[in-house]
Amino acid sequence: MSKSVQSLVSSVAERRKYPFVRHIVDHPFFGVVIVALILTSVGIILYDTFLSLSESARVELEDINEIITGLLGVELFLRWLVSSTTRMFFSRHWIDVIALLPMLRIFRLTRILQLLRLVRIFSLGAVFQRRMHPFSSLLEGRFVEYLTIVGFTFFALIFGAVGLAQFEVSSTSEIHTPIEAFWKAWFSLLAGEYASYPQSLGGKFVFSLLLMFGMGVFAMLTGTFSAMMIDKLKESAMQRSNNPEELSGHLIICGFSAKIAIIISELAIDSKFKECDILLVSELANLEFLKQERINTDRITILKSDYTQMETLRRAGIERARGAVILSEGTSARTTHDIDARTILAALTIEKLHPGIHTCAEIYHAEYADHLKMGGVEDVVVQGEVSGRLLARLAMNQGVMPFFQDLLSNTHGNTLTFIPVPPDLVGKTVNEALPIIHSNKAAVLVGVRPHGEALAVNPTSHRLSITDELLIIRTV
């Protein structure tokens, strides 16, 4: 092993002998104390600069500032002790070291350089975010960006005001008081120019940095505003329509109508679909309509295109989708037969591209249901048929509407759902299984779906198989 490597290893080992010191400097409370000292030090500088003080008061403030400088020097020494290398220490804290150098007083720059301590607050803020939960939740989202802009602007203003007050305030200059220096720095920061350039070398140096600070503030404001606009665009239908290729295991809804809000709200509270992405494929799709209906659109993507086109369905990722719903999308220019023809075309295309997908379709005319069934569509709803039968049932039996509302919604009460046959019910008839399911699951058995066959409602003599599925009514 070379001498340089040995030296590095021994240096690292030496630094690891101070676990207690590392525990102190890594503690969040230690960072809070340092921030308090920095703010106190800067406050003393501002107090001394902008207020008229007696000589004795100024001396007392200087003594307090010297004590704070000494404490900050001790803090940097402790951080050097626990740093892996000296080079690493200076790469992280070179600004703090410059702010502590007493020899720079001969250039009358110490007061300005001490303001660099404010930069420490940004780095210590990252420590708070990692180690203190209240700060972590506070610094999420856009808040940290706004805080950075305000902090950077405040630092630039204070730096310029103190610097101009130190170098440019005189009876022969256009700046006669520190307050005038403050306003000069403020308007120079906003406008990016100085009415008449500073006379002193130090003033020119401060003004040059102030111009760079102004450009930095403008750049941060522009970047933050642009990021906000991009986020807004991502929430819009235009931006969401560009990335359906990223979806997988999603549900595709072809067509757009007023009932889309009911469908999505019911899917959102179902345990099997509440985490499922939904892709709306329609030239009429409108995300704002869903927001007005108080639908959470976080998992909704829109593809504004003709859903009867094969290329559109490929873009929608039909091969990767878990299911498809086709709504009767009506317009004033189309008859109900035209609408059904589009539904049939879309359904047959979907089944051709993804034969195993579960497809539901809505049509106006019942005679087209057989065409959809032959094409592989599992479930067909005839527009108005269900509502018509329901109205007839309500006319014959007053007061049964709450029953249907309860079953057809997952929001409260009871709902219809499929479950596998419990092992202890295999071989039993439906009549024998009824009391057992009611007792064990607090549910009512209403139908059986044998594997590969249609649902049978209340088949009392059917003997249950392990491949069957039971349709039950149970509490949500």
Can you spell out the DSSP letters for 208-228? HHHHHHHHHHHHHHHHHHHHH
Q: What is the pLDDT of residue 145?
A: 66
Q: What is the pLDDT of residue 279?
A: 92
Considering the domain boundaries, does residue 405 fall inside one?
no
Question: Strands 358-363 and 379-382, how do they pair?
Answer: parallel
> Which one of 138, 165, 195 terminates a domain?
138
194 & 68 share domain: no
Q: Treating both helix axes as pointing N-terminal to C-terminal, what angle do 86-100 and 118-131 enclose, rounded to 10 degrees?
A: 130
Considering the domain boundaries, does residue 198 fall inside one?
yes
Contacts of 135 by beta carbon, 8 Å cutoff, 6+ apart: 125, 128, 129
251 & 125 share domain: no
The letter for the amino acid at 196 is S
Q: Which two tokens stand for residue 388?
A: 């018509």
Q: In what order do the strands lie in the sheet with 300-303?
A: 300-303, 278-281, 251-254, 323-326, 358-363, 379-382
pLDDT in tens, the chain (476 residues): 445 445 544 444 444 557 777 778 777 777 778 878 877 877 777 777 777 777 777 788 778 877 887 888 888 888 888 887 888 887 777 767 766 664 444 434 455 555 556 666 655 554 444 444 444 444 445 556 666 777 777 777 877 787 777 777 766 667 777 788 788 887 777 776 665 667 777 777 777 777 787 777 777 777 777 776 666 555 554 444 446 777 888 999 999 988 888 888 888 887 788 788 899 999 888 888 888 888 888 888 889 889 999 999 998 999 999 999 999 887 777 898 999 999 999 999 999 999 989 999 999 998 988 888 888 898 898 887 777 877 887 788 888 788 777 777 666 677 788 889 998 888 999 898 888 888 888 888 888 999 878 888 888 889 999 999 898 888 76
Q: In what order do the strands lie in the sheet with 444-449?
A: 414-420, 469-475, 444-449, 456-457
Residue 455 to residue 237: CA distance in whole angstroms? 39
In the beta sheet, which residues pair with residue 325? 253, 360
102 & 86 share domain: yes
The CATH number of the domain where 465 resides is what?
3.30.70.1450
420 & 370 share domain: no
Other C-beta atoms closer than 10 Å to the C-beta of 466 total: 12
Run of H or E residues at 435 = helix 430-441
Considering the domain boundaries, does residue 401 fall inside one?
no
Q: What is the pLDDT of residue 158?
A: 78
> What are the C-alpha distances in Å from 149 to residues 213, 217, 232, 284?
11, 7, 21, 41
Cα 286 from chain centre: 22
Q: Which two tokens stand for residue 141?
A: 């989202």
| Helix, strand, coil distribution of the chain in percent, nearest 5 | 60, 10, 30
168 & 130 share domain: no
Q: What is the pLDDT of residue 240?
A: 47
286 & 350 share domain: yes
Q: Write phi, then psi, for 118 (nearest 5 degrees).
A: -60, -25
441 & 418 share domain: yes
The CATH number of the domain where 12 resides is what?
1.20.120
342 & 469 share domain: no
pLDDT in tens, 406-445: 777 666 677 788 889 998 888 999 898 888 888 888 888 8
> Which one of 207, 235, 263 terminates a domain?
235
369 & 294 share domain: yes
Owning domain of residue 366: 246-387
- Computed from CA positions of residues 274, 279, 284, 288, in that sequence, does the dihedral angle turn out positive or negative? positive
200 & 322 share domain: no
> What are the C-alpha distances in Å from 167 to residues 98, 164, 198?
20, 5, 9
Q: Which two tokens stand for residue 374?
A: 């032959």
CB 168 within 8 A of CB 175: yes
303 & 367 share domain: yes
CB 360 within 8 A of CB 326: yes
- Judged by phi (left if over 0) then psi (alpha if -120 to 50, else beta), residue 294 lies in left
Q: What is the pLDDT of residue 152?
A: 74
Q: Which DSSP state fits 464? A: P
Q: Treating both helix axes as pointing N-terminal to C-terminal, what angle do 143-167 and 178-191 enclose, rounded to 10 degrees?
A: 130
Smallest CA-to-CA distance from 163 within 121, 198, 215 is with 198
Residue 175 to residue 163: CA distance in whole angstroms? 12
Considering the domain boundaries, does residue 398 fall inside one?
no
Other C-beta atoms closer than 10 Å to the C-beta of 328 total: 20
> Which one of 121, 138, 155 terminates a domain?
138
254 & 373 share domain: yes
Domain total for the chain? Answer: 4
